[in-house]
Structure formats: C-alpha cells, structure tokens
C-alpha cells in the first residue's frame, strides 16, 4: 500500500490529508475537515495515478 500526502486547496483551512492507495485505486482519505476536502483528495490522487500510468 502506498501513502500520498497532499494539502487541500478548496477552502482557507488548507487541511493536510493523507490518501492510501493500492493497485492504482484510492482506498481511504484521512485528515480532511469536510467532504469537499475528501472529494478534492480523491480527484487529485486519481489524476496523479492516471498521469503516471497513461493507457
């Protein structure tokens, strides 16, 4: 399992989040202060995964 750290840019809180990734899929996000942050982390990590493994 891989861990990715990121900072949310959605609101002024700038939450420091951790996403757990396995086999090219985001399994969990922690550290988000709201669901917008959760969605942001999911989207960012999925974009990074797509860009690192183009089909």
Contact 2, 21 (CB under 8 A): yes
What pLDDT sits at residue 52? 85
**What was the pLDDT predicted at 55?**
61
- The mean pLDDT values, 10 residues at a time, for the chain of 55 residues are 95 96 94 96 94 75
* Whole-number pLDDT of residue 54: 65
Radius of gyration of the chain (CA): 11
Q: Which pLDDT belongs to residue 6?
A: 96
- Here the tokens at position 39 are 């969605």
C-alpha 36 chain-centroid distance: 11
Of 2, 7, 25, which is closest to residue 17 (Cα–Cα)?
A: 7
């Amino acid at each position: 399992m891989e861990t990715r750290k990121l900072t949310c840019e959605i609101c002024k809180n700038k939450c420091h989040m951790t996403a757990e990734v396995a086999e090219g899929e985001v399994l969990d996000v922690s550290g988000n202060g709201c669901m917008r942050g959760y969605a942001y982390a999911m989207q960012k990590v999925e974009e990074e995964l797509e860009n690192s493994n183009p089909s």
